[in-house]
């Protein structure tokens, strides 16, 4: 449109044309500059990761330092344990406070305070959450444990889930709630079986977003779950975790451990992508009417 | 009877009137209403408790950080933040090198990331064809989904060798006369940390910038076009000027992320608590507030040592909270009145 207008009036001075081209060129090269590291990271991850992946890696516990072989099976299991615990804490609390914000706390001062605080919590560095979990769980129990890591990661899930749940519930048309009220349904039943149900897929997407965010978190695990070279299913004991293992292998001096760090990183990415995709598929099959 | 409704937030079969009458024959008729009343009250209690938990968590974080850093505060007072010696052996702590490392690495990251993210945001919202738009947004979001430990891993084995063998010697040779690129090309150090942080904050800044640029009403664009502007002039005058406050908010949000980022930085910055000479600042190893906590926390044996580390954490917490609030206010000033997140 702009071009058509310009042609009717007068040809553009060369300088202005040049600045327009230059801007387009620079913006496009910025995109290339950003995509380059993305492709480089994924390329290396696939190349080095698949090269290092083998059956032992997925089934064995770590070899002693300097020895070749071993794997990260216990770390993968530990991550599943910690992430499960974190989800058990973060998902219900997050959805609950999201419901409060959208259905009860609209415009109220308390609601605004919670919304604001949850945005603040979202910006708190993960390592600070780690210190808090250390103080709350590790110091009171007297030792490192999977529980402490689960608490730390669960806390990190809450603000993301709260805000996405709120946004998704607000998208549900008000007439749906009114229809339920008109039938004499109580407010909580309406919220659970009409509003929340209509927004299910959006709410679950929010939960997956939060899950993907914490699944690779390492900093809050350093001094909560601590790491372990053996199998552990006890919540009250130190546990290995995949991101933690990747970190300690990456900064180690052994080539074989570097190799395994790449394989671990690949497994971590696959774990994140796979779980997100699995839930997405399950949700799209399970519900017919979704908000979006 | 009402206990059943009270305990379970999810509806069970207990809602048919017949069944309820069976359970509580003593109070007929009233059951439906009282159950609904109890259900509503208890559900409200549950969601309020969930909402309040957010406040409780932030309160607990603050309380734990303050109470457990008390020892270091009493021992060093404000001198803690201007002292340059970090000496666990003699139990003497000064956090200035970490403050320096955090500030310099974050600013370096912003210096690299801001122009690039602006370019990306402008290209995606204003320049590229619609079909490419979704794909490019997806790709930049993907960059945000990579865990920081994987960034660190990639940086150690790809970025750092590249810097050590090619980039840094090249910079020393060609730009050494500026006085900014001196010292040993270790690879590991401030520059590597700045670059990896820049890659990590680009998706944050660019998605924020995209959001506020989309929020600029299209009447503004049309008005500038109507005056005969080229596309770039339209973007400059119609879009960027209106979205200015929000873009600054996005940059500050990126700063908040860069300040608190731990793992990737720890893996490449070299972890040396030193303030290097200005000319060697870029290539020299350094240490940040987050990385010293990550490195030394689980090995901190003395009470004062642990307390000093927690005080570093407290400072980091306060700074990131202030930075985030500032960012939030700026973004709100632009997107106010718009739906929180558009699908554009």
Name chain B contacts of A223, Cβ cutoff 8 Å.
297-298
pLDDT for residue A80 is more than 90: yes
Rounded Cα distance between A213 and B246, Å, is: 24
Q: State the CATH number of the domain containing residue B222.
A: 1.10.3720.10
pLDDT at B13: 43
B147: closest chain A residue by CA: A216
User: What pTM did the predictor assign?
Assistant: 0.87
Which A-chain residues 157-186 have CB contacts (< 8 A) with chain B?
A: 158-159, 162, 167, 186
Residue B154 lies in a domain: yes
Q: Name the strand (E) or helix (H) holding B322.
A: helix B303-335
Q: Tell whether B267 is covered by a domain.
A: yes
**B99 within domain boundaries:** yes
Q: Which residues of B touch A251 (CB under 8 A)?
A: 156, 267
- Higher-pLDDT residue of B334 and A262 is A262
More confident of the two residues A277 and B256: B256
Any B CB within 8 A of A96 CB: yes
Mutation target for B interface from A9, A19, A27: give the one with most B CBs within 10 A. Answer: A27
Query: Could B260 and A1 be called an inter-chain contact, meaning their C-beta atoms sit closer than 8 Å?
Result: no
Which of B17, B37, B49, B61 to probe the A interface (max A CBs under 10 A)? B61
Strand, helix or coil for residue A152: helix
Q: Is B14 on the interface with A (CB under 8 A)?
A: no
| Token pair for A40 | 């480089």
CB contact under 8 A, B122 and A27: yes
ipTM confidence: 0.89
Q: Which residue of A has its CA nearest to B224?
A: A2
Between chains, do B262 and A29 touch, taking CB under 8 Å as contact? Answer: no
A to B CB pairs, distance under 8 Å: 276
Instruction: List the single residue in A with minimal CA-CA distance to B229.
Output: A2
Predicted confidence band at A201 (pLDDT cuts at 50, 70, 90)?
Answer: confident
> In this predicted structure, what is the pLDDT of residue B344?
32
Q: DSSP character for B85?
A: -
Minimal C-alpha gap between B49 and chain A (Å): 8
Question: Which segments of chain B have a pLDDT < 50?
Answer: 1-21, 23-28, 339-344
Give residue B290's domain range: 70-335
How many independent structural domains does chain B possess?
Answer: 1
**B120–A93: do the CB atoms touch at under 8 Å?**
no
Q: pLDDT tens digits for A155-182?
A: 999 999 999 999 999 999 999 999 999 9
Copy the structure tokens of residue A55: 């059956």
Report pLDDT for A8: 57
Q: What is the pLDDT of residue A5?
A: 52
Count Cα atoms within 13 angstroms, Cβ side, for A79. 25
In whole angstroms, give the CA distance from residue A72 to residue A271.
Answer: 14
**pLDDT given for residue B29 in this prediction:** 53
Q: Over the stretch A94-144, which tens digit does the pLDDT of each residue have?
A: 999 999 999 998 889 999 999 999 999 999 999 999 999 999 999 999 999
**Nearest Cβ partner of B127 from A24, A92, A265?**
A24
Structure token pair of residue B79 = 């001198």
Q: Which of B36, B106, B230, B238 to mutate to test the interface with A (most CBs of A within 10 A)?
A: B230
Residue B327 in contact with residue B308, Cβ under 8 Å? no
Listed residue (B316, B158, B325, B81) closest to A219, CA to CA = B316
User: Quick check: A192 and B39 CB within 8 A?
Assistant: no
- Say if B167 falls within a structural domain: yes
The more confident residue out of B2 and A271 is A271
pLDDT at B9: 46
Inside any domain, residue B307: yes
Q: Residue B87: in which H helix or E strand, if any?
A: strand B86-87
**Domain A72-241 listed as CATH 1.10.3720.10:** yes
Residue B95 within any structural domain of the chain: yes
Angle in degrees, 0-180, between the axes of helices A14-52 and A255-286, rounded to the nearest 10: 110
**Interchain contact B8–A (C-beta under 8 A):** no
Which tens digits make up the pLDDT trace of A18-69?
999 999 999 999 999 999 999 999 999 999 999 989 898 999 999 888 788 8
- B309 within a domain of the structure (yes/no): yes
State residue B321's pLDDT score: 94
Tokens encoding B296: 């030394």
User: Smallest Cα–Cα separation from B250: which of B129, B58, B122?
Assistant: B122
List all residues of chain B from 161 to 180 with a beta carbon under 8 Å from chain A: none
pLDDT at A277: 80
A111/B140 Cβ within 8 A: no
B131 in a domain, yes or no? Answer: yes
Q: For residue B315, what is the nearest residue in chain A, using CA coordinates?
A: A128
Look-up of token digits 């997806």: B138
Residue A148 has pLDDT above 50, yes or no: yes
Quote the tokens at residue A276: 């997100």
State the DSSP H helix or E strand holding residue B104, giving kind and residue range, or none if neither: helix B96-122
Question: Which helix (H) or strand (E) covers residue B186, if one does?
Answer: none
What are the pLDDT digits (tens) for B140-193?
A: 888 888 999 999 999 999 999 999 999 989 988 888 888 788 888 889 999 999
Q: What percent of chain A has pLDDT over 70?
A: 93
Place A3 in a pLDDT band, splitting at 50, 70 and 90: low
Write down the domain spans for chain A. Answer: 72-241
Distance linking the first and last C-alpha atoms of chain A: 32
Reported as half-sphere exposure (CB side, CA atoms, 13 A), residue B25 has a value of 1
Residues of B in contact with A131 (CB under 8 A): 64-65, 293, 297, 310, 313
Q: Cα–Cα distances in Å, from A241 out to A79, B102, B138? A: 5, 27, 29
Structure confidence at residue B2 (pLDDT)? 41
Distance CA A162, CA A206 (A): 9
């Amino acid at each position: 449109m702009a071009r058509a207008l310009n042609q009717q009036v007068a040809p553009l001075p060369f300088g202005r044309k040049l600045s327009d081209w230059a801007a387009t060129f620079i913006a496009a090269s910025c995109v290339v500059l950003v995509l380059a590291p993305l492709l480089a990271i994924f390329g290396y991850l696939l190349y080095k990761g698949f090269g290092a992946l083998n059956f032992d890696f997925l089934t064995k516990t770590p070899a002693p330092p300097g020895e070749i072989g071993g794997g990260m099976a216990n770390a993968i299991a530990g991550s599943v344990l910690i992430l499960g615990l974190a989800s058990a804490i973060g998902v219900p609390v997050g959805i609950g406070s999201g419901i409060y914000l959208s259905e009860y706390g609209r415009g109220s001062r308390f609601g605004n305070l919670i919304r604001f605080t949850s945005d603040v919590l979202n910006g708190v560095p993960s390592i600070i959450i780690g210190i808090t979990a250390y103080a709350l769980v590790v110091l009171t129990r007297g030792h490192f444990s999977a529980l402490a890591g689960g608490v730390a990661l669960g806390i990190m899930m809450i603000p993301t889930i709260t805000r996405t749940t709120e946004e998704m519930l607000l998208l549900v048309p008000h007439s749906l709630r009114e229809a339920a009220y008109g039938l004499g349904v109580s407010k909580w039943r309406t919220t659970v079986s009409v509003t929340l149900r209509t927004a299910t897929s959006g709410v679950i997407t929010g939960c997956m977003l939060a899950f993907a965010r914490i699944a690779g978190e390492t900093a809050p695990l350093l001094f909560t779950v601590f790491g372990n070279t053996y199998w552990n299913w006890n919540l009250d004991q130190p546990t290995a975790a995949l991101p933690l293992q990747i970190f300690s292998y990456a900064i180690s001096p052994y080539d074989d451990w570097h190799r395994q760090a790449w394989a671990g990183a690949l497994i971590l990415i696959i774990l994140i992508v796979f779980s997100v995709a699995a839930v997405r598929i399950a949700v799209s099959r399970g519900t017919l009417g979704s908000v979006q | 009877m009402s206990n059943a409704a009270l305990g379970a937030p999810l509806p069970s079969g207990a809602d048919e009137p017949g069944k309820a009458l069976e359970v509580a024959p003593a109070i007929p008729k009233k059951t439906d209403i009282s159950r609904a009343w109890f259900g509503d009250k208890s559900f409200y209690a549950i969601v309020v408790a969930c909402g309040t938990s957010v406040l409780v968590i932030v309160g607990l974080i603050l309380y734990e950080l303050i109470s457990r850093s008390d020892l270091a505060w009493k021992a060093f007072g404000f001198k803690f933040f201007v002292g340059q010696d970090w000496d666990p052996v003699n139990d003497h702590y000064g956090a200035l090198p970490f403050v320096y490392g955090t500030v310099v690495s974050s600013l370096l990251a912003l210096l690299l990331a801001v122009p690039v993210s602006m370019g990306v945001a402008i290209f995606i919202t204003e320049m590229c064809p619609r079909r490419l738009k979704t794909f490019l947004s997806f790709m930049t979001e993907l960059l945000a989904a990579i865990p920081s430990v994987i960034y660190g891993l990639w940086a150690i084995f790809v970025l750092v060798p590249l810097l050590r063998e090619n980039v840094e010697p090249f910079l020393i040779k060609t730009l050494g006369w500026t006085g900014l690129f001196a010292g040993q090309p270790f690879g590991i150090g401030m520059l590597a940390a700045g670059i990896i942080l820049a890659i990590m904050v680009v998706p944050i800044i660019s998605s924020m910038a995209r959001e506020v640029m989309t929020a600029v009403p299209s009447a503004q664009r049309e008005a500038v076009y109507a005056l005969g502007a080229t596309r770039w002039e339209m973007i400059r005058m119609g879009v960027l000027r209106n979205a200015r406050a929000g873009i600054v908010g996005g940059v500050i949000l990126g700063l908040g992320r860069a300040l608190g980022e731990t793992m990737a930085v720890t893996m490449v910055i070299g972890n040396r608590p030193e303030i290097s000479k200005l000319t060697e600042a870029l290539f020299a190893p350094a240490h940040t507030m987050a990385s010293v906590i990550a490195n030394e926390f689980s090995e901190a044996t003395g009470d004062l040592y642990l307390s000093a580390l927690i005080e570093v954490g407290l400072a980091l917490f306060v700074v990131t909270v202030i930075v985030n609030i500032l960012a939030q206010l700026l973004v709100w000033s632009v997107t106010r009145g718009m739906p929180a997140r558009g699908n554009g």
